[in-house]
Structure 1
Amino acid sequence: MFIKPIALAAIVATAGSAATANSYFEFGETLKSSSVLDLGLVRSADNGVIEIYDNSRGAPGALLGTQSVKGGANSNVRVNVGVRPTQDVIALLKIDGEVVVEREYDINR
């Protein structure tokens, strides 16, 4: 069976948007400055990984920490970032290497 490239692209795009629609960070926009950041509830459409980056320049900078999550609701998600961040951070939820959710957090210093 031959699938036209346009149809295949539409299928991939639909699958990606479904993952985005079913994945989110529930916690507010401010995190307490700590070596372990508490993200609260994170919903993921499938198994994935959260990556925390420095966001002092308004774009992802240095990788600070990662945490695996399972498909579904993940409560009390905490990410060890080593040292207390002094700048704002950005959290990315990746599934199969693709960013499905991005969330900026202000750090309460």
Structure 2
Amino acid sequence: MSKLTEKDFIAMANKIYINPNKDVLNYLKQEYEQINFSLQKLKKINISDVEPLVRVGLPISDLREDEEDLNIVANKEKILMNASENNGDYIVIKRIIKDGI
């Protein structure tokens, strides 16, 4: 990672129409140095024996068996009882037409 100078920070800030003061520039410099330090530590980690991951987490089988959870299945009677209006077979709703659609 290349070393950024105060001039570089000012140029970046000016591109987004910000005029940073000395306190902001010092803060940015400290943050940049901390990020750069962390990246240098990461570069030292030996990953030569690490296989690339296809996905993070447990493998997901695309061919799993579907299992019906009967605890969440609603029956027709319960649904019709909960509806404000029904005809004994279906829920009746009022059709709203707006702007000729």
User: Scaled by the length of structure 1, what TM-score is found?
Assistant: 0.27
More helix by percentage: 2
Q: How does the TM-score come out when normalised to structure 2?
A: 0.28
The structure number with the bigger radius of gyration is: 2
Higher strand proportion (structure 1 or 2): 1
